[in-house]
């Protein structure tokens, strides 16, 4: 009986230590989530203004031709997948990886028909273990990412479309709604069809609208990728905060169960000792 009680006490202590860790991780994730939300919101004005200028050029200059605006026959597809470097975030990584794998299985018969660009160690490990064609990857992205942290993979993804390596590029990431809800999202980034529209303002361009568009379109695509990374970070922290909150609650329930079992074992031990004392006293009477 004493051995069983010692084992229960060890389980209680171990679970209490785990609870302290999950509670601390929940608090850290909550703080990171607030910063990530502010970063995502701060990036939107730049992205919106860049889109406005691109739309203005596209609407005001007829007959502009650019590889990023032209739809062509799809022979090969690129996927840029955004995951995290660390786990313990619930279904954050599994959901986005499941979405891209479903798309690949349904639309491609061999690895020659697609290329993968990946941000995050979880995605990188996942694709490498399955011998899938990873062209470019970035890992170790900080909790507050700058554009420079993902510039190499963003630039490579855009340039490979421009030079015809593949004919369309999809961006796969978790769209942030709130701390509880993150939506696995896949959008076609290239070719761009949504930039055409009515000119919102009148601009003068040097050396020409075509020259400016040549520079802005790749930057616009890279900006959309960076915005998705910021959304992904907010989603990651929201998912981790929720997962750690659930883990903390489960640990609390486990501790209550262990404590109840310990008290019952202790009561049984006391009852047994009393019975032995009474039996000994009666035997001596």
* Sheet containing 168-176: order of strands: 134-138, 114-119, 77-82, 168-176, 182-190
Q: 3-class DSSP state for residue 129?
A: helix
**Residue 190 domain-assigned (yes or no):** yes
**CATH assignment of the domain containing 155:** 3.40.1380.10
**Residue 22 domain-assigned (yes or no):** no
Residues 93, 79 contacting (CB under 8 angstroms)? no
**Residue 54 domain-assigned (yes or no):** yes
Residues 75, 167 contacting (CB under 8 angstroms)? yes
**Total structural domains within the chain:** 1
**Residue 249 domain-assigned (yes or no):** no
| Alpha-carbon span 11 to 2, nearest angstrom | 14
**Residue 10 domain-assigned (yes or no):** no
Identify the domain containing residue 105 by its residue range.
28-198+208-241
**Residue 121 domain-assigned (yes or no):** yes
Q: Answer left, alpha or beta for residue 63, where phi above 0 means left and psi between -120 and 50 means alpha.
A: left
Closest CA to 40 of 261, 235, 250, 202: 235
**Residue 231 domain-assigned (yes or no):** yes
pLDDT per residue, tens digit, the chain (285 aa), is: 555 888 999 999 999 999 999 999 999 999 999 999 999 888 888 888 887 777 777 666 666 677 787 888 999 999 999 999 999 999 999 999 999 999 999 999 999 999 999 999 999 999 999 999 999 999 999 999 999 999 999 999 999 999 999 999 999 999 998 888 999 999 999 988 655 555 545 667 777 777 778 888 888 899 999 999 999 999 999 999 999 999 999 999 999 999 999 998 888 888 887 877 777 777 766
The rounded radius of gyration (Å) of the Cα atoms in the chain is 28
Residues 78, 157 contacting (CB under 8 angstroms)? yes
Q: What is the pTM of this model?
A: 0.86
**Residue 36 domain-assigned (yes or no):** yes
């Amino acid at each position: 009986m004493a051995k069983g009680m010692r084992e229960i006490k060890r389980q209680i202590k171990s679970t209490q230590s785990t609870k302290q860790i999950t509670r601390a991780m929940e608090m850290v994730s909550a703080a990171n989530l607030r910063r990530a939300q502010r970063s995502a919101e701060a990036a939107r004005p730049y992205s919106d203004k860049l889109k406005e200028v691109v739309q203005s050029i596209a609407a005001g200059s007829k007959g502009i031709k650019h590889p990023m605006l032209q739809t062509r026959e799809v022979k090969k597809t690129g996927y840029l997948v955004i995951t995290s470097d660390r786990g313990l975030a619930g279904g954050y990584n599994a959901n986005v990886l499941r979405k891209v794998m479903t798309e690949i299985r349904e639309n491609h018969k061999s690895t020659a028909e697609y290329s993968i660009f990946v941000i995050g160690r979880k995605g990188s490990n996942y694709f490498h273990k399955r011998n899938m064609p990873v062209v470019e990857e970035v890992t170790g992205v900080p909790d507050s990412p700058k554009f420079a942290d993902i510039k190499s993979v963003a630039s490579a993804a855009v340039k490979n479309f421009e030079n015809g390596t593949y004919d369309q590029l999809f961006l796969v990431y978790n769209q942030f709604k709130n701390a509880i809800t993150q939506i696995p999202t896949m959008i076609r980034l290239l070719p761009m069809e949504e930039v055409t529209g009515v000119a919102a303002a009148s601009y003068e361009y040097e050396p020409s609208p075509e020259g400016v568009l040549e520079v802005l379109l790749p930057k616009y695509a890279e900006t959309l990728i960076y915005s998705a990374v910021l959304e992904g970070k907010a989603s990651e922290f929201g998912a981790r905060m929720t997962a750690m909150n659930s883990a903390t609650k489960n640990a609390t329930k486990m501790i209550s169960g262990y404590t109840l079992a310990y008290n019952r074992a202790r009561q049984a031990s006391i009852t047994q000792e009393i019975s032995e004392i009474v039996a000994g006293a009666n035997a001596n009477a």
